[in-house]
Structure 1
Amino acid sequence: MEDLFRYLDDHLGEALRELQELCRLPTVSAQGKAIEETAEWVAARLHALGFEAEVLPKPREGNPVVYAYQAGDSPRTLLFYDHYDVQPPEPLELWSSPPFQPTLREGKLFGRGVSDNKGNIIARLYAIRAWREVRGGLPCSVKFCIEGDEEIGSPEMEEFVAEHRELLKADACLWEGGGVTWDGRPQLTLGVKGLLYVELAARTIDRDAHSSWGTVLPNAAWRLVWALATIKGPDERVRIDGFYEQVRPPTPQELAAVDAMPDEEEETLRSYGIREFVAGLSPREARRRHIFDPTATVDGLLSGYTGPGPKTVLPAEALAKMDFRLVPDQDPLDLLEKLRRHLEREGYGDIEVRLLSAERPARTPVDHPIVQMARETLRRVYGKEPVVVPSMAGTGPLYPFVSTLGLPTIDFGVGYPDTRIHAPDENIRVEDFLRGAKAVVALLEDFARAG
């Protein structure tokens, strides 16, 4: 491994410049920006590394997927899943430097997508390049599936995977990327939560009115706030009938893995400027809840006048965006119907519920052989015991890869706890980027030998 690691050390500057070039493309899927340009950029880089690469459409809607394949010495095949799209950069005024002008300072690279997920794409290509340049080829066969709308819920991804089942056939999958803990231990994540994302809309009158009419006219903002208050209580429990019915209890191995995770809750509280978690949860309770519990979150509210100074208005319309993070075996479409029935029963059947995104949860078992193999890989590269996380608290289109393709899936990457993905000043530490690439180099060899 030392010859490969030395190559990565010697060519770090080149890899960072390539990452900066990719991150200059404003690939905001929510706004439809730079999609085709970025897909072609990624496909060209893969082709230059010896891959058979092509840009494939999704079945009906959604952005194109970059697919690539390269044969290796081992008959085993490792599939890399990544995405080339990024989150919107707003609010722009909170960035220390322009989001699409990636900037190096104090050992960190700042810019939208430097971690999520362009940084992980480049780290993986950097590892592939090391194998080809130093050893002349890959130890195992490698496929890439890089989509362009993960940040808007991966529309049609289940259909795409089903349609291209043979093309994507592999022995295991390395997911888009994670990072290290506050104390530098690599995290090995084995699953994702699902997602139900909805828009709730209230309309009470034909047009906004003077607020004096609050005596007799219905206010859309109040109507929506009252409806939202029926969905979740101050005890943090979701009040939709049947919401928790399908929740699969964590296994003893999953509980043990979470209990073995480092106690970083105080750091988390400090980083968000608060003193305690909701409901007075203890650190252990918070950790278990964060991994294993579903959520109901109001993401945004819009109604009436919110500009500077007063404006006395009774709003005719109100809008809320809401997401529900789901755990195995919850079904987002089943819960969508339960949400609609709940609002009807509570007297808010007039609230329009629009589905924006739905993804199912998925996990790889903690005791799967590939998990042990990856733990040994990460232990060797980082010199520290990896932290096994049964599921990330976020969401990705993992379900069809685990269910349709039957792939055990693991996840590690180039981030760290203050990476600030989805927020202003997204960043990575250069040392984490380098170490993450070395972990991919080592994984390729260990995976080939395991077969």
Structure 2
Amino acid sequence: MSTKKVLQHVDKNMNVLVKDLRVLIQQPSVSAKNQGIKKCANLVRSTLKKSGINAEILTMKDYPPIVYGEVKSKKNPNKTLLFYNHYDVQPVEPVELWDEDPFSGKIKGNRIYGRGSSDDKGELITRIRAVASFLNVTGDIPCNVKFVIEGEEETGSAHIEEYLKKYRKKFSCDGVIWEFGHVDSKNRPIIDLGMKGLLYVELSLRESKMDAHSSLAVLIKNPAWRLVEAIKTLRDSSGKILIKDWYKEVQPLAKSDIKILKSFPFDEKEFKKEYGIKK
């Protein structure tokens, strides 16, 4: 397959990508408010279909629907790549800080403004158009491609596990590319193929059965300080986790892993400058 011709097709039809993205942005889909979720799911399905991708909406109970898409490869039907994305966005508040309508998809120069323009409707559209370009230029794709596009990522993906269990066979694949990707300070597109894990816990403590005045601090222990003391036991000043057996199943990095990490195009100076980090 000629990747060069496919890329040329992408560039030549950039106006289609921009148009599709603006249409998606203009459809509100705030999962925290259940605003426009079903309408946006239908819009995403339509966008997949018109791009040559078989698409359907998967539902469970009253959960936000998942949009599923699939294209089978003729030359390489034994390998499958799955794209994960989401069509929901964060609330727009505080709305007074916006210069434009958060759902306008307004173009200024070389940028599009609006909720989801980057996270995550922008990335979703680029992946859809990539598949569409392969189909238009070659009539095929390098391997089977599946899309799993959920509608509650911004509120914690509360029901994704149930969807995965129910549609395990449908979602089966050889590899998954998550939603992330960015353009670095040198204008290079970066696709991350690995992410760190995430664990969060909630600690709560009660010392009295009602709110108490601060003057009673000599008589009632302050729960805030108890929590500070508890949190301090979780890690030391260097960042090492102090919980027993925390590192028991952690595998050390191989030499090849370290080599890949060292070759990663990360500009530390630009990163510090962007976030105002001095150390």
Question: TM-score band, normalised by the shorter chain?
Answer: 0.7 to 0.9
Q: Equivalent of 2:41, from 13, 16, 39?
A: 39
Deviation at 1:100?
A: 2.9
Partner SS, residue 198 of structure 2: strand
Match of 1:70 in 2: 71
Q: Equivalent of 2:182, from 154, 179, 183?
A: 179
In 2, Cα distance between the equivalents of 1:263 and 1:70?
34
- Asked whether the equivalents of residues 20 and 47 of structure 2 are also in contact (C-alpha less than 8 Å), the reply is no
Match of 1:220 in 2: 223
Root-mean-square deviation (Å): 2.9
In 2, Cα distance between the equivalents of 1:220 and 1:90?
32
Match of 1:148 in 2: 151
Amino acid at match of 1:44: S
In 1, Cα distance between the equivalents of 2:227 and 2:62?
31
Match of 1:235 in 2: 238
- Asked whether the equivalents of residues 78 and 172 of structure 1 are also in contact (C-alpha less than 8 Å), the reply is yes
- Asked whether the equivalents of residues 74 and 141 of structure 1 are also in contact (C-alpha less than 8 Å), the reply is no
What do the CA deviations read for 1:132-176 (whole angstroms, capped 9, x no partner)? 444555564432211222333433434433432332234444332
The answer to whether 1:209 aligns with 2:212 is yes
Deviation at 1:253?
A: 0.8
In 1, Cα distance between the equivalents of 2:265 and 2:200?
31
TM-score normalised by L of structure 1: 0.54
In 2, Cα distance between the equivalents of 1:19 and 1:72?
26
Match of 2:17 in 1: 15
In 1, Cα distance between the equivalents of 2:256 and 2:130?
32
How many residues align? The count is 275
Deviation at 1:188?
A: 4.1
Deviation at 1:230?
A: 2.9
Unaligned runs of 5+ in 1: 277-451
- Asked whether the equivalents of residues 49 and 129 of structure 1 are also in contact (C-alpha less than 8 Å), the reply is yes
Greater percentage in strand? 1
Partner SS, residue 42 of structure 2: helix
Amino acid at match of 1:169: S
What do the CA deviations read for 1:266-308 (whole angstroms, capped 9, x no partner)? 21111121210xxxxxxxxxxxxxxxxxxxxxxxxxxxxxxxx
Deviation at 1:254?
A: 0.8
Q: Which moved more, 1:225-234 or 1:115-124?
A: 225-234
Match of 2:125 in 1: 122
Partner SS, residue 199 of structure 2: strand
Judged with a 3 Å threshold, the aligned counterparts in structure 2 of structure 1 residues 165 and 49 are, in CA distance, closer, same or farther, namely same
In 2, Cα distance between the equivalents of 1:97 and 1:223?
45
In 2, Cα distance between the equivalents of 1:23 and 1:228?
41
Partner SS, residue 82 of structure 1: strand
Partner SS, residue 258 of structure 1: helix
In 2, Cα distance between the equivalents of 1:171 and 1:34?
33
Judged with a 3 Å threshold, the aligned counterparts in structure 2 of structure 1 residues 110 and 232 are, in CA distance, closer, same or farther, namely farther
Deviation at 1:124?
A: 1.7
Match of 2:31 in 1: 29
TM-score normalised by L of structure 2: 0.83
Judged with a 3 Å threshold, the aligned counterparts in structure 2 of structure 1 residues 75 and 9 are, in CA distance, closer, same or farther, namely closer
In 2, Cα distance between the equivalents of 1:139 and 1:275?
45
The percentage of counterpart residues that share the same residue type is: 38
